[in-house]
Amino acid sequence: MPKLNSFKVKVETGDQGTAGPVMFSINRHTLPLENVVGDTGAGDVFEGGFEVNSFAHSLTLVGPEKGQWHIKKITVDFDCEGSQPYSVTYGEVTLDETSQANLWQDPPQLVFDV
Amino acid sequence: MSLINTVKKIFSNNDPVKTEGDSNGDESTPPSIESSEKPADNFPELPQERMTINLSVIKESNTSSPQSDEILIKAEPSVANDQCVFMVNRTLMEGYSWYFSSFESAAGSSLAEALFSLEDVESALILESTLTLTRKDKTIVDWKPLAKEVGAVVRKALEGGGPLISEKIIAEMPSEESVREGIQKSIDTEVNPGVAGHGGHITLQSVKGNTVTIQMGGGCQGCSAADLTLKQGIHSSFRKAVPMVGAILDETDHSAGVNPYF
């Protein structure tokens, strides 16, 4: 499990937006994203991030407290200790007050030619 | 009595505790600590556990072996560094897979003999165009030096043009039916009774040649120790039951489910 220095998340909202604020959960601690840009209305693009500087056991995007949030695409840029920065893009999902989306993905395996 | 001492007393024994201001020496009338506690209904409700959804990942794979006249080999050490998978743009074994557990088992198979000539190679599993190796020295985490040697050995064996796998092995390969029967018996009589205590169960998904694919369910799915369980327990049971079983593949998505292990 690598140490997560920081991450940035870009969320493309689909047909149904949410009022926010956009919260994430790291190791079951729920926090608001920082350095946010954009919006979470229908068709909008929202970006935010967080300086974690800790080991990530779990990282999720928390659903809205009221209503549904239809997300078309989520792109997460990870900066982990001991590996090159990497990006993961996730597909469509609809979140609500009972759900959260897993954002965590281990760094890609080292592959080399021999 | 200080607050710290009061707290220590609460946790160290069940004796009645005196609070600050009650140090009048009257041990017969211990004050109740309940009076200073908030009623239970004043505590905020714990947040409801949310269902974690695992999203489909849209990503490009960089591990394919392209067709080329040149022999191309990519090495991918596992996360735990306990094994390394080599992907070759040539077929190493067609229709079957084979597990070489020792130098002796490599007799007659030019590729395996060459691999075991490398000092640190412990075991080799050949499946189609991939080769999975474990090493004897588990303290070494850097696979690069050994992987370079493996690459040279594989390249030389392929360029040699002879049969990579002993013809005797191919000739004596058991039927799919007998592999299925033996593995199913092992699952029913040994593996599942063993994992049932952890709420898990194993099902045999498919048998192709002598390659078997299993799925882990119940408590095994999402278990962080599943990889270790699979390798140490299930593999040895299967190989004992069906000595000619080749690759044992796990089709379980350990990150799936409502609340998978992260």
Q: What does the pLDDT look like over A85-106, one tens digit per residue?
A: 899 999 899 999 999 999 998 8
Task: Report yes or no: B63 at the A interface, CB cutoff 8 Å.
Answer: yes
Strand order in the sheet with B200-208: B200-208, B211-218, B248-250
In chain A, the residue whose alpha carbon lies closest to the alpha carbon of B155 is A114
Final residue before a domain boundary, out of B171, B189, B221: B171
Check whether residue B78 and residue B155 sit in a common domain: yes
Range of the domain at B184: 176-250
Looking at the complex, report in whole angstroms how far the Cα of residue B21 sits from the nearest Cα belonging to chain A: 39
Residue A95 domain-assigned (yes or no): yes
Give the distance from residue B106's alpha carbon to the nearest chain A alpha carbon, in angstroms. 23
Please give the residue that has the higher pLDDT: either B8 or A66. Answer: A66
Nearest 5°: phi and psi at B112?
-70, -40
pLDDT at B55: 83
DSSP state of A83: S
> Within this chain, do residues B220 and B160 fall inside the same structural domain, yes or no?
no
Q: How many domains are there within chain A? A: 1
The pair of three-digit structure tokens given for residue B17, joined into one six-digit string: 């505790």
The residue out of B126, B155, B171 marking a domain boundary is B171
Chain A hits for B262, CB-CB cut-off 8 Å, are: 57-59, 102, 104
Q: Is residue B260 part of a domain?
A: no
What is the domain extent for residue A48?
3-102
Nearest residue to A79 (alpha-carbon basis) of A24, A22, A5: A5
Residue B167: phi and psi, rounded to 5, are -65, -30
What does the block give as tokens for B249?
């593949």
Residues B100 and B29 in one domain: no
Q: What is the CA radius of gyration of chain A?
A: 14
Phi, psi of B25 (to 5 degrees): 80, -5
- Confidence at residue B66, expressed as pLDDT on a 0 to 100 scale: 55
Query: Do residues A99 and B51 lie in contact, with contact meaning Cβ atoms separated by under 8 Å?
Result: yes
Please indicate if any CB of chain A lies within 8 Å of the CB of B61: no
Q: Tens digit of pLDDT per residue, chain B (262 long)?
A: 444 454 444 444 444 333 333 344 444 444 333 434 444 455 555 556 888 988 877 754 444 445 678 999 999 998 778 899 999 999 999 999 999 999 999 999 999 999 999 999 999 999 999 999 999 999 998 999 999 999 999 999 999 888 899 999 999 999 999 999 999 999 999 999 988 877 778 899 999 999 999 888 776 655 656 666 666 788 899 999 999 999 998 776 544 443 333 3
Task: Examine residue B123 and state whether it is found in any structural domain, yes or no.
Answer: yes
Residue matched to tokens 């995007």: A61
Residue B61 domain-assigned (yes or no): no
Q: What pLDDT is recorded for position B215? A: 86
Q: Do residues B110 and B191 both lie within one domain? A: no
Across the interface, whether the CB atoms of B59 and A100 are under 8 A apart is answered no
Taking the C-alpha atoms of residue A90 and residue A78, their distance in angstroms, rounded to an integer, is: 13
Q: Chain A partners of B256 at a C-beta cutoff of 8 Å? A: none
* Contact B55/A at CB under 8 A: yes
Return the number of other C-beta atoms located less than 10 Å from residue A16's C-beta: 14
Residues B14 and B81 in one domain: no
CA-nearest of B125, B121, B135 to B93 is: B125
Q: Give, in order, the Cα–Cα distances in Å from B6 to each of A1, A22, A40, B128.
A: 41, 43, 51, 69
Total domains, chain B: 3
Verify that B191 and B114 share a domain, yes or no.
no
Q: Is residue B103 part of a domain?
A: yes
Asked, for residue A96, whether it belongs to a domain, the answer is yes
Q: Nearest CA of chain A to the CA of B38: how many Å?
A: 25
The answer on B211 and B235 residing in a single domain is yes
**From the candidates B46, B55, B85, which should be mutated to test the interface with A, based on the most A CB atoms within 10 A?**
B55
Structural domain ending residue among the three candidates B126, B145, B171: B171
pLDDT higher than threshold 70 for residue A5: yes
Residue A31 structure tokens: 């926090």
Asked if B52 lies within 8 A of A102 by C-beta distance, the reply is yes
* A-chain residue closest to B79, CA distance: A109
Residue A108 lies in a domain: no
pLDDT for B219:
64
Q: B21 and B78 share a domain?
A: no
CA distance A52 to chain B (A): 17
B83 strand-pairing partners: B134
- In angstroms, rounded to a whole number, what is the distance separating the alpha carbons of residues B9 and B176? 68
What is the predicted pLDDT for the residue at B48? 67
In a domain, residue B63? The reply is no
Q: What is the 3-state secondary structure (H, E, C) of B17-62?
A: CCCCCCCCCCCCCCCCHHHHCCCHHHCCCCCCCCEEECCCEECCCC
Residue B240 sits at φ, ψ, to 5 deg, of -70, -40
Tokens of B117: 């000539």
- The verdict on a CB contact (< 8 Å) between B57 and A74 is no
CB B129 within 8 A of CB B90: yes
Choose from A77, A97, A99, A114 for mutation: most chain B CBs within 10 A: A114
Distance CA B9, CA B19 (A): 10
Q: Tell me the HSE value of A75 on the side-chain side, using a 13 A CA sphere.
A: 9
Q: Give the count of Cβ contacts less than 8 A between chain A and B.
A: 81
Residue with structure tokens 């909008």? A44
CA B21 – CA B120 distance, rounded (Å): 72
Would residue B261 count as lying in a domain? no
Q: Identify the pLDDT of residue A57.
A: 86
In chain B, which ranges are continuous DSSP H helix? 3-12, 110-116, 144-160, 167-171, 176-186, 192-195, 226-229, 235-241
Q: Output A61 or B141, whichever has higher pLDDT.
A: A61
Q: For residue A27, is it within any domain?
A: yes
Alpha-carbon distance of A34 to A80, in angstroms, equals: 18
CATH of the domain at B80: 3.30.1370.70
Contact call for residues A8 and A76 (beta carbons, < 8 A)? yes
Angle at B61 between CA B60 and CA B63, to 5 degrees: 160
- From chain A, the residues in CB contact with B72 under 8 A are 113
Residue A39's pLDDT is what?
Answer: 95
CA-atom Rg of chain B in angstroms: 29
CATH number, domain with residue A41: 2.60.60
In chain A, residues with a C-beta closer than 8 Å to the C-beta of B54 are: 102
Residue B86: inside a domain, yes or no? Answer: yes
Cross-strand partners of A13: A71
